[in-house]
Amino acid sequence: MDAFWNEWLRQKGVARDGEGKLPTAQHLQQVQALQNGSVLAPLDNYALIRVDGDDAETFLQGQLSSDIRDVKDGRAQYSTYSTAKGRMLASFLIWRQQGAYYLMVSADVAQAIAKRLAMFVLRSKVKVSLVEGSALLGLSGPFAETILQGHFPGVASWDPLQQQTSGDASLVKLRNGVYLLAGTGALPCDIAAAPDWQAATPEVWALHDIEAGVAWVTSATQEQFVPQMANMELIGAVSFKKGCYPGQEIVARSQYLGKMKRRMFKVQFGQPLVAGCKLYSPQLPEQSVGMLAAVCQVDKERYLGLAVVQSQTWSDGVFADEGHTIALQALELPYPLESVTE
Q: How far is the C-alpha of 147 from the C-alpha of 128, rounded, in Å?
A: 33
Angle at 125 (CA atoms; ends 124, 130), nearest 5 degrees? 100
- At 172 the three-state DSSP class reads strand
User: What mean pLDDT do residues 209-230 have?
Assistant: 97
Which run of H or of E encompasses 249? helix 248-256
Q: How many CA atoms lie within 13 A of 182 on its CB side?
A: 28
Angle at 291 (CA atoms; ends 226, 335), nearest 5 degrees? 65
Q: How far is the C-alpha of 308 from the C-alpha of 98, rounded, in Å?
A: 37
pLDDT at residue 74 is higher than 80: yes
CATH class of 261-332: mainly beta
Q: Indicate yes or no: pTM above 0.85.
A: yes
pLDDT confidence of 58, banded at 50, 70, 90?
A: very high
> pLDDT value at position 259?
66
CATH topology identical between 1-260 and 261-332: no
The percentage of the chain sitting over the pLDDT mark of 90, rounded to a whole number, equals 80
pLDDT at residue 342 is higher than 60: no
> pLDDT value at position 338?
76
The residues spanned by each domain of the chain are 1-260, 261-332
Residue of 125, 136, 110 whose CA lies nearest to 49 = 110
At 3-25, the pLDDT tens digits run 888 889 999 999 887 777 899 99
> pLDDT value at position 102?
97
Architecture of the domain spanning 1-260: 2-Layer Sandwich (3.30)
Q: What is the CA radius of gyration of the chain?
A: 20
